[in-house]
Amino acid sequence: MKSDIRHIEEAALNAWPALHTLVYDGWLLRFANGYTKRANSVVPLYSGTRPLAEKILYCEKVYQQEKQPVIFRLPSFVEGVGDLDAALAARGYRHLDETIVQMSDLGHASYTQPDRAYTLLSPHLWLPLYHEMAQGRTDRETHARLLQAITNPTCYIAVMEAQPVACGLGVYDRGYVGLFDIVTDPAHRRQGYGMNVVSSLLAWGQQAYEAGYAYLQVMANNAPAIHLYRKFGFEEGYRYWYRMKA
């Protein structure tokens, strides 16, 4: 099970690349002009050899030089994450945004694209739709650069009625399809459009690449989304959370 979890963590890092990455004693330091915490945080992947306090100070110095907040993203399965979490808490880092990474075995179902969903072939067409629906998102330019940096196969979905009402992104990697940026226009929620997006992305993964599994990341306090994903067989694989320097 842990090998599957590590595979998904690697796939998720590939699917949401940073613009610049440093590797330091088992940790990844990721930078993307501050667009999303996922792409702008320290991610511990494996145990190193340097003292923990020394490593934290190094990361603080680098992020301060980049004029970015110092943020750590802590996957629950990583060895020693409890010690790192405690050390960061002692230094005044706030606990933020606990997130569940869910997995689904696609071998138990066959998905098709609903008639009202279609694939947008270019991220340049999809991107403005996403930012129009996802309230609070800014810096479309950096988001575009992140999408351009994805090297694995991608699928951009929009659900249409008289106008676009929902959208999402799928990224395929070694048997897994990852679901990202799933959003429904606020005026059209609770009408099944989110299910159409998920079904379409899963169908793409199965039909184009024979994907056997899917994964996604959802906030632990987002009960409606968790309920939606459960209908597609998604179950918790592991969690991560952030620690951010006050």
Range 104-238: architecture per CATH:
3-Layer(aba) Sandwich (3.40)
Kindly state the average pLDDT of the residues 76-105.
96
173/19 Cα distance (integer angstroms)? 19
The pTM for the full model equals 0.92
pLDDT over 90 at 13, yes or no: yes
Q: Give the SS3 label for residue 149.
A: helix
Q: Among 75-84, 124-133, 186-195, 207-216, which is the least confidently predicted range?
A: 186-195
Kindly state the average pLDDT of the residues 24-33.
97
Residue 179: predicted pLDDT: 97
DSSP 165: E
Domain borders along the chain are: 2-101, 104-238
Per-residue pLDDT tens digits for 116-166: 666 776 888 899 999 989 876 778 899 999 999 999 999 999 988 888 899
Tokens linked to 240 = 């991560």
DSSP 216: E
88/132 Cα distance (integer angstroms)? 36
102 to each of 8, 160, 174, 184, 229, how far by Cα in Å?
Answer: 10, 27, 17, 20, 9
Of the two residues 121 and 100, the one the predictor is more confident about is 100
Q: Among 42-46, 187-191, 235-239, which is the least confidently predicted range?
A: 187-191
Residue 11: predicted pLDDT: 96
Q: Among 171-175, 188-192, 211-215, which is the least confidently predicted range?
A: 188-192
